[in-house]
Amino acid sequence: MHFCVDNKNFANMKNVVGQTPRGEDFFPREGIINKIYRRLESGAHVFLAAPRRVGKTSIMRYMEDHPRPGFHFVYIITESAHDSEAFYQKLLDELLKSAALTNLAKQKEKVSGLVKSIIEKVEKVKIAGIEVNLQRKAAETYQAAFEKFIAEYNDGENMLVIMVDEFPQTVENIKIKHGEAEAQTFLRLNREQRQQANQNVRFIYTGSIGLPAVVKKLTSTSVINDLNVVDILPLTPEEAEDLTQRLLNRYQVKYKPEMVGYLLSKIKWLIPFHIQLAAQELIDVFETTNQPLDEASVDRAFAQLLNVRNDIYFEHYYTRLELAFPKSQHGFITMLLDRLAKQDSLSQDAVNALAAEHQLSDSLEAILEALVYDGYFHFDKSINAYRFNSYLLQSWWDKKNLR
């Protein structure tokens, strides 16, 4: 009997679950990375479109850590920003302390002078904020300081790419705290800033909720039609097999060759995070049994994955619904997902009928678009019905209802 274990590669990629893999722990996704660079080189601003856990953040951090010549990346997450000024303060704070801008300022006198002038402007903003008895001048805002920076940055050689993670959530935060009009203004303002930015400044936006769905609820999608969309797709079967083997080989796990194919057929939705989760359990099974992994080992690992201790990896799919959708839609969405988990698939007619029962026919298209983007399910054309993307999520959802 032949068992697989590759001692040449086991020292490299660690199985990082729950955190962002970086360095040697990042699984290379050259096809997507090449596509992003092509968009940037053509002068586009980019939106990375994908549900959570598909690998958007890992890709951005890899590009930040390993920029190609002529590019500098700064990764900024703005999930905590609940108003426009907090958003621009976050951008400036992270930019000014970033390794990319610090190094450029040391090498380029023009960049150094711009950084010093922005720091002075930021200090005036802080002073204006303290002087509560004086009306703050329009020029004494983080927004004004940021606009000055992106308009004047140009070292003649390098493109500075500002990567904004959780941008759609920031828009949602502003809408909740300040109302729809303020969120609309924020979106229009960001579009204007992209148009007015120096050609050596580019933006990449992404988030764990869909920007188009967020925008459609507020205003015309024209406020984001200047963004070039890059879809972050699941791994190909070949990539998924490669990743699985790297993770198992890292820990010198022995396994039967056919086990990998069986594992991937059960996972179905081949996103890196779900493969990492399954590999974590498989490694535990191997260390417990000290026997080469086979199909029965995969079944055992999947049973362990649905243990209560792993709820932390799936619970956000459940709690997210309360944050992303109005209360009037919760009953319909929960029932839809419950039935999908139990029945494996639902036809369009069945979904339409369920929406009609809840008096949500007019809202159905927007609801389905948001749920599809957020990674819950997809429309399977081969059977003309909706199905969960992930067998793991489907099984967890069904089991949750039995607890």
* 324 shares its domain with 225: no
Question: Which of 211, 231, 251 marks a domain boundary?
Answer: 231
Which residues sit opposite 255 in a β-bridge? 4, 293
Question: Which of 201, 231, 261 marks a domain boundary?
Answer: 231
CATH code of 166's domain: 3.40.50.300
For residue 264, tell me if it sits in a domain. no
* 323 shares its domain with 180: no
Which residues sit opposite 163 in a β-bridge? 75, 204
- Whole-angstrom Cα distance, residue 187 to residue 224? 8
Ranges of residues in the chain whose predicted pLDDT is under 50 = 1-2, 6-10, 130-135
For residue 119, tell me if it sits in a domain. yes
Q: What pLDDT, on a 0 to 100 scale, did the predictor assign at position 9?
A: 43
Q: What pLDDT, on a 0 to 100 scale, did the predictor assign at position 194?
A: 97
For residue 288, tell me if it sits in a domain. no
Q: What pLDDT, on a 0 to 100 scale, did the predictor assign at position 77?
A: 96
> Which runs of E-coded beta strand occur in 224-311?
227-231
For residue 308, tell me if it sits in a domain. no
For residue 290, tell me if it sits in a domain. no
- Residue of 22, 6, 107 lying closest to 60 (CA atoms): 22
- Each residue of 259-276: b (16+ CB within 10 Å) or e? bbebbbebbbbbbbbbbb
Number of domains in the chain: 2
Question: Which of 169, 202, 231 marks a domain boundary?
Answer: 231
CATH code of 353's domain: 1.10.10
Which residues sit opposite 164 in a β-bridge? 76, 205
For residue 8, tell me if it sits in a domain. no
Alpha helix segments (H runs only) across 153-179? 167-178
Domain span at 380: 313-400
3-state secondary structure of 42: coil
Q: What pLDDT, on a 0 to 100 scale, did the predictor assign at position 116?
A: 92
For residue 183, tell me if it sits in a domain. yes
For residue 251, tell me if it sits in a domain. no
Residue 146: how many CB atoms within 10 A of its CB?
Answer: 22
Q: What pLDDT, on a 0 to 100 scale, did the predictor assign at position 282?
A: 96
Q: What pLDDT, on a 0 to 100 scale, did the predictor assign at position 7?
A: 45
* 103 shares its domain with 194: yes
Q: Which two tokens stand for residue 122?
A: 């930021």
Q: What pLDDT, on a 0 to 100 scale, did the predictor assign at position 88?
A: 96
- Amino acid in position 335: M
Q: Which two tokens stand for residue 332?
A: 């319909």
3-state secondary structure of 45: strand
* 227 shares its domain with 125: yes
Tell me the pLDDT tens digit for each residue of 74-86.
999 999 999 999 9
> Is this structure's pTM higher than 0.85?
yes
Residue 17: how many CB atoms within 10 A of its CB?
Answer: 14
Q: Which two tokens stand for residue 80?
A: 């905590």
